């Protein structure tokens, strides 16, 4: 069964604005915001707690099983710092948000991230780890990189993604 609405992943290092983007898109488009962090807690998709990083250890198989039916129907915006675990057949667009490392440091510090977690996320952003992960996991034409340093960039990004959604709808109206 072909989807009548696309699925989008919004990914990037913690602190780049993924949730803000997803919430704005969900409000503007009616697509469903799937916050992986919330789903992991709500649906028990974890294997305990990592003390050093102050976060749950995600069971990726449980997570995929928990969201498969929803995602296969389409119309989901997946919000998470990783993307390579989601099957390519589920995804129509991968948005990798990037932010200046100085801004990112300030944002993560304000969240009281433990030093190890803060440093790992900064290194990940500087080394473009999540961008490379997206490019290696999905077709080049569905991966886009967007800056998310200031509010105006976020608003512009949301408008750009909404434009992509409209075009996807036009390109896929004949599907049944």
What's the pLDDT band for 173 if we cut at 50, 70, 90? confident
Instruction: Flag whether 29 is marked binding.
Output: no
Domain boundaries, the chain: 8-147
Residue 156 labeled ligand binder:
no
**Cβ distance 82 to 11 under 8 Å?**
yes
Q: What is the pTM of this model?
A: 0.93
Contact, 93 vs 164, CB < 8 A?
yes
Q: Are 136 and 44 in contact (CB under 8 A)?
A: no
Known binder of ligand: residue 75? no
Known binder of ligand: residue 15?
yes
pLDDT of 175 strictly over 60: no
Residue 121: pLDDT band (50, 70, 90) is: very high
The CA distance from 83 to 12, in Å, is 9
What architecture is the 8-147 domain classified under in CATH? 3-Layer(aba) Sandwich (3.40)
Task: Check whether 51 has a pLDDT greater than 90.
Answer: no
Going by DSSP bridges, is the β-strand pair 143-147/93-98 parallel, antiparallel, or unpaired? Answer: parallel
Give me 54's structure tokens: 């102050």
Binned at pLDDT 50, 70 and 90, residue 176 comes out as very low
**Binding site annotation covers 74?**
no
- Determine whether the annotation assigns residue 173 to a binding site: no
Composition of the chain by helix, strand, coil, percent to 5: 50, 20, 30
Q: What's the count of helices (H) and strands (E) in the chain, helices before strands?
A: 7, 7
Mean of the per-residue pLDDT values for the chain?
A: 94
Q: Would you tell me the crossing angle of helices 101-110 and 115-126 to the nearest 10 degrees?
A: 160
| Distance between CA atoms of residues 112 and 115, nearest Å | 9
């Amino acid at each position: 069964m072909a989807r009548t609405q696309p699925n989008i992943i919004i990914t990037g290092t913690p602190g780049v604005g993924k949730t803000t983007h997803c919430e704005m898109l969900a409000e503007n488009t009616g697509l469903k915001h799937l916050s992986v962090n919330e789903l992991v807690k709500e649906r028990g998709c974890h294997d305990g707690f990592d003390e050093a990083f102050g976060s749950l250890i995600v069971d990726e198989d449980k997570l995929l099983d928990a969201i498969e039916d929803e995602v296969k129907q389409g119309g989901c915006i997946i919000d998470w710092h990783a993307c390579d675990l989601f099957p390519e057949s589920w995804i129509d667009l991968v948005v990798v948000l990037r932010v200046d490392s100085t801004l990112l440091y300030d944002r993560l510090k304000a969240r009281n991230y433990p030093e190890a977690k803060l440093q790992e996320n900064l290194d990940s952003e500087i080394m473009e780890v999540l961008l490379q992960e997206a490019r290696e996991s999905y077709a080049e034409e569905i991966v886009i990189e967007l800056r998310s340093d200031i509010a105006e960039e976020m608003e512009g990004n949301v408008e750009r993604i909404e434009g992509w959604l409209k075009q996807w709808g036009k390109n896929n109206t004949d599907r049944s």
